[in-house]
């Protein structure tokens, strides 16, 4: 009787404790929900804060006044690496929705679902025409190989406008894991940049400067087309007009071959003093490949543009030399004739460096290698108050050739020794930021300096400029077909089929110069991807498989035995 009453008492106490725990748990849930409704917060526990959006991204998302719709073509049977990219895109868009749920919508689409071979090819062509770039995934095993087309890209629409997003930059890089990692690092930027392109209400005006032998409209057709997503593009001849550059946010000086007069220089200088931004693409030498078409040698001479004093005052000097680099671009060389068909072989042309800086400034981070042609070295000089950042430099196996210099095709078939490339890390692209001093300080008469209509300034507003010692970097290739010129995308080499990063580099330069919201800084994000050691995985494949299959089973069995043991132990004590 006593034992029964004791058991009933214990059961009542247990029920009371269980009820209190249940009520306590419900109270905690209610408090958390109430806190969530009163204040918005998100907690990111990852080491590199991969789920924390930048403030610029959050501001742009909050400002959306209509639906932005994402169609992501990463769906269906995907390799593990692309599945990781798919999950990351999904998570990033969910983060976007956290800041504007009503105006961010998305769907994942399998492009091959429900289509036969003919309609599938038509659909693929339609996607390519809209600017999407497919990737070819090759799976190789000891007994077979498989190849399939994957679309790591999206189409983004806003109102009546549409723009493509390619998550992976195809080009010279072949390591899939590296490409996926870089795409993850650039994911926030690529998605928010698409929104930015679609929602720009008033495009800033930028202009190509003409009148001094600069790259013409056909040579810059492709980059002009890409820049129109962000800016209103003009082509302007200064012609000594004081108001020629009014209302412009930035100008591009692309490969001039004749000297600037002092009045045009003054107008550019005062444009900079008033906060204007400049992308200088200036050749240090007068050299081109055309003269090598008919003979095996040509001479490189200094390119006299009368801009040297300006650039020196702003903080750089473009040297009148040529930089050779062992890490260079291949070019086709005619080696013979079979019937009426010329035979070509490809040789690395040391005068065309292939340069990248994957861990550098956001302007150049994770870009494909950039193709330079007859580039010169840059020295940083002058005012220490100007912030100078080297964006791109040559490899550790470089050489400087001072002008005048003979350029010979014979170097193609020679094998220079390592001692021949005796220079290292020669700057070829430099970012300058700060308050620049006018190159005309103490050089102009008082009546001009004090003229209110001219509004001369000796010390400028804070601004930016980028100096690149190659004017060809912005020129796209083109051919004549059926009486019409066909232009290739900037950075695409029609001879080798290689996609260089020239277009993205120029776009990033202009976006950094012009965009005061500094969205490009998002590209500085680094994600530490812990990659598996492939050789170690291959040598321990069976052990890993057994551990993954049998490990969970044995763990559950062991847990069951422990649970039974503790229950019996508790029963005995009771």
Q: 136 with 79, same domain?
A: yes
What is the C-alpha separation between 428 and 413, in angstroms, rounded?
26
Residue 311 pLDDT = 97
pLDDT of 12 higher than 50: yes
Q: Which of 178, 198, 218 is the last residue of a domain?
A: 198
Same-domain status, 373 and 435? yes
Structure token pair of residue 165: 């997003």
pLDDT at 91: 92
**Percent of the chain clearing pLDDT 70 (strictly above):** 85
For residue 36, name the pLDDT band (cuts at 50, 70, 90): low
- Whether residue 532 lies inside any domain: the answer is no
With respect to residue 308, please indicate whether it lies within any of the assigned structural domains.
Answer: yes
Task: Name the residue range of residue 172's domain.
Answer: 55-198
Cis peptide upstream of residue 261 (ω within 30 degrees of 0): no
Is the residue at 474 inside a domain? yes
Q: What is the pTM of this model?
A: 0.79
Q: Is residue 46 part of a domain?
A: no
Q: Are residues 144 and 252 in the same domain?
A: no
Looking at the structure, tell me whether residues 157 and 213 fall in a common domain.
Answer: no
Please choose, from the candidates 51, 131, 132, 55, the residue with its C-alpha nearest in 3D space to the C-alpha of residue 93: 51
The answer to whether residue 510 sits within a structural domain is: yes
Q: What is the pLDDT of residue 3?
A: 47
**Do 326 and 397 form a contact (C-beta atoms < 8 A)?**
yes
The DSSP 8-state label assigned to residue 299 in this structure reads E
252: closest CA among 286, 288, 216, 304?
216
| pLDDT (0 to 100) of residue 538 | 59
Judging by beta carbons within 10 Å of its beta carbon (0-12, 13-18, 19+), is residue 221 exposed, middle or buried? Answer: middle
Arithmetic mean of pLDDT, 357-361: 83
**pLDDT, tens digit, 9 for 90 and up, residues 240-289:** 999 999 999 999 999 999 999 999 999 999 999 999 999 999 999 998 78
Domain final residue pick, 160, 176, 198: 198
- The pLDDT assigned to 6 comes to 54
In tens, the pLDDT along 85-122 reads 999 999 999 999 999 889 999 999 998 887 888 888 88
The answer to the question of residue 552 being in a domain is no
In a domain, 245, yes or no: yes
Contacts of 352 (CB under 8 A, 6+ apart): 328, 329, 331, 371, 372, 373, 374
Say yes or no: 303 and 446 in one domain.
yes
Task: Say whether both 326 and 368 belong to one domain.
Answer: yes
Question: What's the CATH number where 81 sits?
Answer: 3.40.30
- Say what the pLDDT of residue 35 is: 60
CA distance 413 to 210: 39
Which pLDDT value is given to residue 528? 54
Same domain assignment for residues 262 and 349? yes
Domain count, the chain: 2
> pLDDT (tens digit, 9 = 90+) per residue, 43-56?
554 555 556 788 88
Domain shared by 309 and 185, yes or no: no
Range from 147-161, 221-235, 281-295, 489-503 carrying the lowest mean pLDDT:
281-295
Q: In angstroms, what CA-CA distances link 264 with 311, 445, 455, 458, 573?
A: 14, 17, 16, 17, 98
Same domain for 85 and 221, yes or no, is: no
- Quick check: is 382 in a domain? yes
> Do 240 and 183 sit in the same domain of this protein?
no
**Residue 113 confidence (pLDDT):** 84
pLDDT value, residue 420: 86
Arithmetic mean of pLDDT, 190-197:
92
State the pLDDT at residue 44. Answer: 52
Do 178 and 220 fall within a single domain? no
DSSP 200-255: -SSPPEEEEEESSS---TTTTHHHHHHHTTTSEEEEEE-TT-TTTTTT-SEEEEE-
Residue that finishes a domain, picked among 145, 172, 198: 198
Could you tell me the CA-to-CA distances from 339 to 336, 342, 343, 542 in Å, in that order?
Answer: 10, 8, 10, 57
Domain match, 239 and 193 both: no
CA atoms of 361 and 509, how far apart (whole Å)? 11
């Amino acid at each position: 009787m006593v034992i029964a009453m004791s058991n009933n008492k214990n059961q009542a106490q247990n029920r009371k404790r269980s009820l209190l725990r249940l009520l306590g748990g419900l109270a905690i849930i209610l408090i958390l929900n109430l806190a969530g409704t009163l204040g918005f917060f998100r907690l990111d526990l990852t080491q590199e804060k991969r789920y924390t959006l930048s403030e610029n991204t959050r501001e742009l998302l909050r400002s959306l006044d209509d639906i932005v719709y994402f169609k992501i073509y990463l769906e269906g049977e995907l390799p593990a690496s692309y599945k990781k990219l798919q999950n990351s895109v999904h998570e990033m868009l969910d983060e976007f929705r956290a800041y504007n749920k009503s105006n961010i919508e998305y769907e994942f689409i399998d492009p091959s679902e429900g289509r036969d071979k003919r309609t599938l090819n038509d659909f693929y062509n339609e996607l390519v025409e809209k600017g999407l770039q497919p990737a070819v995934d090759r799976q190789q095993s000891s007994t077979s190989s498989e190849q399939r087309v994957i679309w790591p890209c999206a189409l983004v629409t806003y109102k009546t406008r549409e723009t493509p997003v390619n998550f992976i930059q195809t080009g010279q890089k072949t390591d899939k894991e590296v490409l996926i990692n870089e795409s993850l690092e650039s994911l926030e930027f690529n998605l928010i940049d698409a929104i930015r392109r679609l929602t720009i209400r008033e495009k800033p005006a930028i202009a190509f400067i003409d009148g001094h032998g600069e790259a013409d409209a056909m040579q810059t057709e492709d980059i002009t087309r890409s820049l129109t997503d962000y800016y209103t593009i003009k082509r302007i001849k200064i012609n000594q007009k004081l108001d020629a550059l009014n209302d412009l946010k930035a100008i591009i000086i692309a490969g001039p071959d004749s000297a600037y007069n002092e009045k045009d220089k003054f107008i550019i200088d005062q444009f900079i003093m008033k906060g204007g931004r400049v992308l200088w693409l200036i050749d240090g030498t007068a050299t081109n490949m055309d003269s090598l078409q008919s003979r095996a040698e040509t001479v490189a001479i200094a390119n006299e543009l009368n801009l040297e004093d300006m650039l020196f005052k702003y903080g750089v000097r473009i040297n009148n030399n040529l930089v050779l680099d062992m890490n260079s671009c291949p070019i086709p060389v005619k080696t013979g004739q079979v019937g009426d068909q010329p035979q070509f072989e490809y040789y690395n042309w040391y005068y065309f460096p292939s340069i990248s800086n994957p861990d550098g400034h956001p302007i150049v981070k994770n870009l494909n290698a950039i193709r330079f042609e007859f580039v010169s070295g840059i020295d940083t000089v002058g005012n220490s108050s100007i912030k100078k950042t080297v964006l791109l430099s040559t490899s550790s196996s470089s050489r400087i050739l001072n002008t005048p210099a003979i350029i010979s095709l014979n170097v193609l078939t020679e094998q220079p020794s390592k001692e021949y490339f005796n220079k290292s890390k020669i700057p070829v692209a430099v970012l300058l930021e700060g308050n620049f001093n006018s190159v005309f300080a103490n050089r102009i008469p008082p009546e001009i300096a004090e003229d209110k209509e001219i509004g001369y300034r000796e010390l400028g507003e804070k601004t930016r400029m980028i100096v690149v010692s190659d004017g060809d970097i912005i020129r796209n290739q083109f051919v004549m077909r059926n009486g019409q010129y066909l232009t290739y995308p900037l950075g695409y080499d029609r001879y080798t089929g290689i996609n260089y990063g020239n277009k993205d580099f120029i776009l990033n330069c202009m976006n950094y110069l012009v965009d005061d919201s500094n969205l490009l800084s998002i590209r500085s994000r680094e994600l530490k991807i812990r990659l598996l050691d492939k050789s170690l995985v291959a040598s321990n494949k069976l052990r890993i498989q057994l551990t993954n299959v049998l490990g969970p089973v044995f763990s559950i069995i062991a847990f069951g035995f422990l649970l039974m043991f503790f229950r019996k132990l508790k029963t005995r004590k009771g």
